[in-house]
Amino acid sequence: MDSAINKVLASGNFIKGTTLDKFEKEFAKFIGVKYCIGVASGTDALHLSLLALNIGKGDEVILPVNTFIATVYAILYTGAKPVFVDIKEQTYNIDVNAIENKLTKKTKVILPVHLYGQPAEMDKIINLSKKYNLAIIEDACQAHGAKYNGKLVGSIGDFASFSFYPAKNLGAYGDGGAITTNSAILAKRLQRLREYGAVNKYTYKEIGLNSRLDTLQAAILLVKLKHLNTWNKKRSALANYYTKKISQHLPFIKTPFINHDSTSAHHLYVIRTSRRNQLAKYLLSKNIQVGIHYPLPLHLQKSLYFLNYKKGSFPVAESVCSEILSLPLYPELTQSEQDYTINSIINFFKH
């Protein structure tokens, strides 16, 4: 890592250049697509993908109501209207059977999120996209390396957005993101849009953003990409161990659903219990860093008041959000640390 960073420092090339080109090629190859465009963040990756499809005022975009706030903000930045769909209790992903009811003449895009690393049910989404001529943008920000029916996520929709936020499965030393696609035309447009809409220096064809993946981050990601598969396998083994122990000792706690058509990237390990708040407090007091992803479904966020959604609109997400808890999960986690967490949960329920 030191030598990769020092090479960039010595070159003095901090924006674009061969290191970024190389990362884009390697990441495209890893995902199994023709093109990768490095951008400044996962949020920008979503925003730029929508811009490349000319999505804006008057258009509607379908997305799940339980996701990170950036998914809906990216839609709002374009002026389009986000249309939420409830999630499936079993998978926490978008309820594909509830999408068709939400489609209107204005719907242009379905934006599924592969939440916690688990792929959304893409077959049904692809069928809808064909039937109604809709584009698909995958939010793969939590799912680097996840597979659906043998295909890596990020290679299924028209575009996919990845985030390299430090805590993601593939994380930079700061912010970063990428878009993957098989379309040469869209890739070319994205290369313009991430750089002010420039066709060449000081000639602008359209209004774009300043959103490039830093060369330094690309150098860092090139080193880490080589380890991604190994790290994901470790995540998977750790997740299996949690599930085995929890099913054994705490059968009333719901563990993550395993879809046999898919390979999860195991970004997060999320359990479900009605005593979530007390359990979270107890585990934090034992120095176990648990999290909640996410405590409030998006339609109830104050910043989105103008969308006029009411409490009760998405009953599954609302009940799930009050019961989910993410246990520590990262490749370097040890079995004794996992045992400490599991024993602490056992102790909590004993008392």
Ligand X SMILES: *Cc1c(COP(=O)(O)O)cnc(C)c1O
Complex with ligand X: residue 41 or 155, whichever CB lies closer: 41
Provide the terminal-to-terminal Cα distance of the chain, rounded to the nearest Å: 47
Complex with ligand X: residue 76 or 250, whichever CB lies closer: 76
Identified binder of ligand X from the candidate list 8, 141, 160, 265, rule CB under 6 A: 141
Instruction: Provide, rounded to whole angstroms, the least separation between the CB of residue 176 and ligand X.
Output: 7
φ/ψ of residue 152, rounded to 5: -70, 140
Residues 302 and 69 sit within 8 Å (Cβ to Cβ): no
Identified binder of ligand X from the candidate list 86, 138, 139, 214, rule CB under 6 A: 139
DSSP per-residue codes, 122-170: HHHHHHHHHHHT-EEEEE-TT-TT-EETTEETTSSSSEEEEE--TTSSS
φ/ψ of residue 210, rounded to 5: -100, 100
Residues 34 and 84 sit within 8 Å (Cβ to Cβ): no
φ/ψ of residue 300, rounded to 5: -100, 5
Identified binder of ligand X from the candidate list 38, 42, 171, 297, rule CB under 6 A: 42
Continuous segment of H or E residues that includes residue 262: strand 262-263
Complex with ligand X: residue 27 or 282, whichever CB lies closer: 27
- State which residue has the least CB distance to ligand X: 42
User: 235-254 mask for ligand X (x: CB under 6 A)?
Assistant: --------------------
Identified binder of ligand X from the candidate list 19, 66, 163, 255, rule CB under 6 A: 163
Write the CA distances from 349 to 130, 194, 275, 279, 346, integer angstroms.
49, 51, 9, 8, 5
Instruction: Provide, rounded to whole angstroms, the least separation between the CB of residue 100 and ligand X.
Output: 23
Site for ligand X in 287-346 (CB under 6 A): none
Complex with ligand X: residue 24 or 139, whichever CB lies closer: 139
Instruction: Provide, rounded to whole angstroms, the least separation between the CB of residue 41 and ligand X.
Output: 3
The DSSP symbol for 299 reads G
User: 51-90 mask for ligand X (x: CB under 6 A)?
Assistant: ----------------xx-xx-------------------
Stretch binding ligand X (CB under 6 A), from 50-58, 136-144, 282-290, 326-334: 136-144
Specify the amino acid at residue 39. Answer: V
With CB under 6 A, what is the number of residues at the site for ligand X?
15
* 177 near ligand X, judged by CB under 6 A: yes
| Bridge pairing between strands 107-110 and 60-64 | parallel
Instruction: Provide, rounded to whole angstroms, the least separation between the CB of residue 246 and ligand X.
Output: 24
Identified binder of ligand X from the candidate list 165, 231, 269, 294, rule CB under 6 A: 165
Site for ligand X in 92-131 (CB under 6 A): 113
Residue indicated by tokens 């999320």: 270
Report the b/e string of 65-83 with b at 16+ CB within 10 A: bbbbebbbbbbbbbebbbb
Instruction: Provide, rounded to whole angstroms, the least separation between the CB of residue 110 and ligand X.
Output: 15
Instruction: Provide, rounded to whole angstroms, the least separation between the CB of residue 240 and ligand X.
Output: 23
Complex with ligand X: residue 71 or 326, whichever CB lies closer: 71
Instruction: Provide, rounded to whole angstroms, the least separation between the CB of residue 126 and ligand X.
Output: 20
Identified binder of ligand X from the candidate list 24, 36, 43, 93, rule CB under 6 A: 43
Site for ligand X in 2-41 (CB under 6 A): 41
Continuous segment of H or E residues that includes residue 18: helix 18-31
CA angle, corner 242, sides to 241 and 248, nearest 5? 90
- Collapsing DSSP to helix, strand or coil, 212 comes out as coil
Binding residues for ligand X, rule: CB under 6 A, are 41-43, 67-68, 70-71, 113, 139, 141-142, 163, 165, 175, 177
